[in-house]
Every structure is written in C-alpha cells, then in structure tokens.
Chains A and B, each alone.
Chain A
C-alpha cells in the first residue's frame, strides 16, 4: 500500500529473508537507522499497532479491513500523526518499511527502467 509495485517485486520475501539472516549481515533499512536487533520485534510492534487500530476503528484486524479502511489507516503515516498509534515512532516505521520497498522494487536497473529512467550500469549484479 505504501508503494505501487512493491508487492509484485516481492518485498515481503526480501524482508522475511533478511529477518532470518544474522543481524551482522542484515541489510534492512531498520539496521541503517540503528534500530537495535532483533529487527523482527520492530516490524511486529508496528503491525500489531495497525491491527489494534483496525480493531478499535473497524472491529477487524487490518488484513480483514476493506481497501478504503486500510488506506485511511496507512495514509496518515507520512504526516506522523495517527491517533491511537502505539507502535514504533510513526515516521521511523513509515520510512523503514517504505524504503525497503523502494529499493527492492526500483533500486535496480530493471526498476529504473520501469520508471522510465535512463540507466548507465557499470557493474551488473551476479545472476543466479
């Protein structure tokens, strides 16, 4: 919801895989922000907070809410103001989650091309 194209780019798999890695090797944005490990606790706290808000406002967990209800919950994240929020600092959570999505979806040659941006790669990533 925070970034078009992120789901198709399988950002969920990237985050899940990185959470399973040693904190020393983890490349999630939360590490860049110097959040202390275990990093899964940061995500759990944020998603639990969304669930709590969704249940309070709509009587259902976040995933069970209608699209417009989800948007109404997620939309105010950028402004840092979400009444009843009990998770990590909201701007930090928004920045961490969205930044991972941005780099996974568009932080590569293919992603830049999808945005219509010219690229000039010097060194390509290894292929499986």
Chain B
C-alpha cells in the first residue's frame, strides 16, 4: 500500500528492516495507522536467489553509505538496503 502526502498516520517508521517491519506489523495489528518509509528497492521472493554470486545483489549492490563528521568512513557491507534491510544479508544462501 502506498500513502499520499495528505494521509495522517499514528506511527512513522523510517526504514523497512527486519525489526522495523515486525514493529510495524504489530502496531498495525493493534489498530494503529502505520507508515514505513523505505528508500531502497522492494523485494520479491524471487530476488532471494540461492546462489552466492547472485546474493551479492542484495548484500552490497547499492550505493555505499558515507558517514559525515571529521573521521567519516564509507562502507557497503551489510549496510542494509531495500525491504528487509541488513537481515536480507543472511537469507538462506
């Protein structure tokens, strides 16, 4: 389901990782109006290919994360992108 900018919600969750998704589902089941914002790609079951090389698409096939500040670092590994977040890194490959 997608929301329009005029929709009012009870809870706004940023990022559709594993914990956030469970949190959202629990709140929705309790009757709350929940909106999850996820900048990454949606995931279909067919995306979780049982292959070490194909799995790279989900693990680090996205823009790297660049932290800010005087000692910033950039990283790609397990940064979590798309629905499922970093938990997708450990899908059953």
Contacts and interface: CB of A to CB of B under 8 A. Distances in A.
Interface of A: 23-27, 31-34, 36, 103-104, 106-109, 119-126
Chief secondary structure at chain A's binding surface? loop
A34 B74 contact: yes
B56 A125 contact: no
A61 to B, nearest CB: 30
Given A27-B56, A104-B53, A125-B54, A36 B74 contact: yes
A107 B61 contact: no
B4 interface: no
Q: Which of B45, B63, B74, B76 has the most CB of A within 10 A?
A: B76
Contacts, number: 61
A104 B53 CA distance: 6
Chain B interface bracket (under 10, 10 to 19, 20 to 34, 35 or more):
20 to 34
B51 A109 contact: yes
A27 B61 contact: yes
A34 B49 contact: no
B28 to A, nearest CB: 27
B23 interface: no
